[in-house]
Amino acid sequence: GTLPSREYAITCGDGSVRTVDMAGVLLDGACLITMVDLSQHKAAEEEIHYLAYYDPLTQLPNRRLLVDRLQQALAASVRRGRCGAVLMLDLDNFKTLNETQGHERGDMLLRQVAQRLRGCVQNEDTVARHGGDEFVVVLEDLGQSPQGAAARAEEMGQKILAAMRHPFMLEGEAHHTTLSMGVTVFQGARE
């Protein structure tokens, strides 16, 4: 005499889709059904997941997701016998900007830097905010030769530097920044 509890996606009269938990029980020849709207609960779960893996300011993967993506890149490098590279980027004098012009402008700069970095790389590459004013770019499948991979990583580094040379607009004012960059090439090897 019971309908076990299950999740269902239902379409409401207004066309919106909601997730509900539905259960039922037979009572005197009739069926009593209860529905609990789980939409807010599901949205909260999704937000928690997002915040666990993405930086809310830049919308880039955070350090936790970066480590996962780097492990995947290393594993793919082992399987394919191909090289990849990691670029570490640090904005120069960012602390001074934050202290003299305010955190709002610092946040604006970080968002614009993130946008420019995404514009420099391929979809399969990872751009992450490592923390503070540090970003990481993981490039995959740069060829079989470490020398060739180093040359391609250097090209990407130059492309990023060129993109960062253009002024950033912070509340209508042009702001120039430089960055420090380190690059390492990796080639997965079986242990």
Name the residues annotated as catalytic. 133
* N-to-C CA span, the chain: 58
Question: Beta strand pairing status for 83-91 and 179-187?
Answer: antiparallel
Beta-bridged to residue 127, according to DSSP, are 137
Check: CB of residue 83 under 8 Å from CB of residue 144: yes
Q: E-assigned strands of the chain?
A: 2-11, 17-27, 30-37, 83-91, 126-131, 134-139, 168-170, 173-175, 179-187
Q: Provide the token pair at 149.
A: 């991979």
d(CA 127, CA 60): 7
Q: Provide the token pair at 37.
A: 């709207």
Name the DSSP class of 90.
E
d(CA 107, CA 187): 35
